[in-house]
Every structure is written in C-alpha cells, then in structure tokens.
C-alpha cells in the first residue's frame, strides 16, 4: 500500500514557476514508477511526466521543455518543477504510483493516487 500526498500548488501569474512535491509512504518507493497527471476543468486527465529509479524520465508532449520531474528516493518524494507557467496549465495536478517495468502514460495503470493539488495561472 502506498499513500501519496501532494503539496506546492497555488495561484501564480503567467510566466511564473512552481515546484510541486509528492511525498510517498512505504519502504519500496524506489521500485515504483512515479508520475504526475493533471486535469483541467472539463477536460480528461492527462499524463504530464513520469520517472523511474535510475534516471528514466518521460514527458507528455504538451509540457516538454517547461516541466522537469525528479525524485529523491531517500526522501520518498517526487517533484515537478513547472516554469514559464501559462493559463492553460491551470489544473489539478495529481501524483500517481505504479508497479511497472516502464513509465505508463495510461492513468488506468496507476494503482495509487494522491488527492491532488490545485495550480491556477492568471494572465
């Protein structure tokens, strides 16, 4: 069982930056693929970025170049650095964990989810 708690969301102006954190419980954090998804109002949840231990990283096409995911296995934490924020980045951002040999982009393959953290970007 893994419990995930996100933090770091907030309201920012366009062009600003945020760093989201996701703290995980459990002693096998390093064995999980960790990912960030986001869901904007009226839209489907979309894959943002994912990481596996060993430096394997994958980004969704819509965020490449502005988002950076990292993980600290010693702290059981995964981070999402978001730069050059745009109003269209406004969404609830969710952290998710999966037992996987790769980084799934399909939300249905993630067994564990956090409660989400709101990011609101004003123009």
pLDDT in tens, the chain (123 residues): 899 999 999 999 999 999 999 999 987 899 999 999 999 999 999 999 999 998 899 999 988 889 999 999 999 999 999 999 999 999 999 999 999 889 999 999 999 999 999 999 999
- ∠ CA 40-68-18 to the nearest 5 degrees? 60
3-class DSSP state of 6: strand
Return the pLDDT at 101.
Answer: 84
Q: Is the dihedral of CA 71, 87, 63, 102 positive or negative?
A: positive
Q: What pLDDT score does 47 carry? A: 97
| CB proximity list for 120: less than 8 A, separation 6 or greater | 10, 11, 12, 90
Q: What is the pLDDT of residue 36?
A: 98
Give the model's pLDDT for residue 1: 83
């Amino acid at each position: 069982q893994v419990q995930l708690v996100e933090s770091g969301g907030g309201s920012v102006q366009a062009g600003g930056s945020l760093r989201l954190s996701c703290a995980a419980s459990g002693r096998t954090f390093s064995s999980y693929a960790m990912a960030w998804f986001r869901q904007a109002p009226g839209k489907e949840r979309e894959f943002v970025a994912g990481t596996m231990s060993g430096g394997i990283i994958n980004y969704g096409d819509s965020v490449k170049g502005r988002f950076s995911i990292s993980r600290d296995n010693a702290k059981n934490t995964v981070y999402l650095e978001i730069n050059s924020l745009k109003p269209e980045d406004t969404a609830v951002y969710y952290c998710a964990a999966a037992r996987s040999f790769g980084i799934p982009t399909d939300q249905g393959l993630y067994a564990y989810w956090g409660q989400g953290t709101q990011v609101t970007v004003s123009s």
